[in-house]
Amino acid sequence: MPLPKMRGPAEAIHELHNIDPSSGLTLHALRQLVNTGEVPCIRCGHKILINMDNLYNYLYGDNTKQEEEIGKRNITPIAIKQA
């Protein structure tokens, strides 16, 4: 079983920009995705490790977690009183 490619946020952005120099994903945006749980990570104290395969899957559109949360949202109708 091969070891996963684990990178810190800065290293992940650097590797991503080596593959696609015109990528619009910034370090701040990646940290936001990690903090909201959109991109899974492993926290070791203050260190954040991102599995690059998970990041690539997220960027390729495998957002199953996000789609599940959208399905849970319900719109509550508000009764409007007419004068």
Residue pLDDT, tens place only, 6-24: 999 999 999 999 999 999 9
C-alpha 20/C-alpha 51 separation (Å) is 18
3 in a structural domain: no
Question: Which pTM does this prediction carry?
Answer: 0.70
Q: CA separation (Å) from 25 to 5, 65, 71, 72? A: 19, 20, 26, 28
Q: For residue 75, tell me if it sits in a domain.
A: no
Is 46 within a domain? yes
Residues whose CB falls within 8 Å of the CB of residue 12, separated by 6 or more in sequence, listed in order: 30, 50, 52, 55
- Is residue 21 assigned to a domain? yes
Q: DSSP states of 14-54 as a string?
A: HHHHHH-TT----HHHHHHHHHHTSS-EEEETTEEEEEHHH
Domain that holds residue 26: 8-62
pLDDT digits (tens, 9 = 90+) for 30-67: 999 999 999 999 999 999 999 999 999 999 987 665 55
Q: How many domains does the chain have?
A: 1
